[in-house]
Amino acid sequence: MPENVIVAVARRAECGEGPYWDARDGSVVWVDILGRQVLRTDARGETRVIDHPEMVGAAAPRATGGLVLAVESGFTLLDAAGELDSRIGILEPPLRMNDAKVDPAGRYWAGSCAMDFRAGLGALWRLDEGLDARLVLPDLTQPNGLGWSPDGTHLYLVETQDRVVLRFDFDPAASEIRSGPTVLADGFTGYPDGLAVDTAGHLWVAEFGGGAVHEFDPAGAHVRVIEVPTAQPTSCSFVGPRLDRLWVTSAATGLDPADVYAGSVFEVTGTGAVGTPVSLFRG
C-alpha cells in the first residue's frame, strides 16, 4: 500500500520536535523548542499547550505520572497536573539540552549542544531514577535523535552537523554504552534530526532541510524515502493505539511564509511499519 501524507496538526511551530504516543490518555506529546512549549494533541486533534520559561528540547513520560523535560539548563520534572516538581541544572549558556529519550531501563538520555553548534561543545547525558545527571559522552557537536534496537542491545544517536547516524553497543539492563560508535547511515543532503525505531529494528530519520523521512534497515541499508510537504522535518514517531501511524514534526523558523505547512505535524500512513512503545522514566 502506498504511503499517504496528511497534515495532522496545522500549526506554525518555530521548531516542533520529539513526538511520542502517550497510551495512558491516547494523545501525542511533542514540543516546540524555540517556542518554549510542551504540546499535547488529543484524539480530536485539539492541542493543549504548557508554556515553559526555558527552551524545551524534548519531553518524556514519567512512571509516576507527569513529564520529564530536557531544557536549556538541564532537566525539569513536572507532576501529573503539569506543575513543577524538580529542576536539575547542569548547563550554562551558550549550552542547552536538545533531543532526549528514555532507555529500556527507564533512564533518560539527552544530548546537549552549543546554541551555535560549535564543534566539540556537545555531550550525551544520562539522568538516573535518583535524579543524578551523569556525563556519558563529551566532545560531540549536535547530538540529536536517539533510539534503541527492539532488544535494547544497540543505541542509535544522530550527530546532525556531521550528517551521520551512529550505532553503539549497549547494555539495556545497566544502561551502559559498551562499545562504538560506528557509522550506521550517512550521505544525507540535508541534516538528519530526530528518529524512531520500529518493531523490525528499522530506523526512521527525519531530514531537516531535506523535506523527507528516510527508512534504514538495522544494517544501515537505505530502504526508502518519504517526502513531506515542508523543507524542515525535525523528528518522527509511531503513534496511535496500534503504533502504525508515523507523525512527523517540523520547524517554521527561518522559512518563508510561502512554505504554508512549515511548523505543522504530518501523519504518514501505509508504511507497513509498527513502532515500539515509549519507555517511562522511573524518576
| Per-residue pLDDT tens digits of the chain, which is 283 residues long | 589 999 999 999 999 999 999 999 999 999 999 999 999 999 999 999 999 999 999 999 999 999 999 999 999 999 999 999 999 999 999 999 999 999 999 999 999 999 999 999 999 999 999 999 999 999 999 999 999 999 999 999 999 999 999 999 999 999 999 998 999 999 999 999 999 999 999 999 999 999 999 999 999 999 999 999 999 999 999 999 999 999 999 999 999 999 999 999 999 999 999 999 999 999 9
What pLDDT, on a 0 to 100 scale, did the predictor assign at position 180?
86
pTM over 0.85: yes
DSSP-assigned letter for residue 281: B
Question: How many other C-beta atoms can be found within 10 angstroms of the C-beta atom of residue 36?
Answer: 17
Are 179 and 167 within 8 A, CB to CB? no
Residue with cell 539495556: 172
Burial label for 277, CB within 10 Å (0-12, 13-18, 19+), is exposed
Q: What is the pLDDT of residue 54?
A: 97
Cβ atoms 19, 237 nearer than 8 A: yes
Question: Quick check: 231 and 255 in contact, CB under 8 A?
Answer: yes
Q: For residues 237 and 194, what is the distance between their CA atoms, to the nearest angstrom?
A: 9
C-alpha 11/C-alpha 17 separation (Å) is: 13
pLDDT of residue 1: 54
Calpha distance 160→163 (Å, rounded): 5
Region for residue 120 given its phi and psi (left: phi exceeds 0; alpha: psi -120 to 50; beta: otherwise):
left
Under DSSP, is residue 263 helix (H, G, I), strand (E, B) or coil? coil
How far is Cα 49 from Cα 29, in angstroms, rounded to an integer?
A: 10
